[in-house]
Amino acid sequence: MAEFDQSLDATGLNCPLPILKAKKTLATMNAGEVLYVMATDPGSVKDFESFSKQTGHELLEQKEEDGTYHFRLKRA
């Protein structure tokens, strides 16, 4: 996993909470900073893809390991 500026543990939360928490955290960050998110909701994969397209925040990475989804978003 590459570098990041802030992290968010959204494990155990269901849609739409991982996205809402990520949105709230990103709002406190500076442009170009990277947010690392961990989630366990399988729906979060499509949610983060859509969120990235709608907001302009770049989805740098998404992967799944043992039922946990890992995302890195670059603040627009």
Give the tokens for residue 50: 């859509």
CA dist 32 and 6 (Å) reads: 12
Which residue in 9, 13, 15, 43 is the catalytic one?
Answer: 15
DSSP string of 30-54? PTT-EEEEEE--TTHHHHHHHHHHH
**AA letter at 2:** A
Q: Is 4 among the residues known to form the active site? A: no
Active site residues: 15
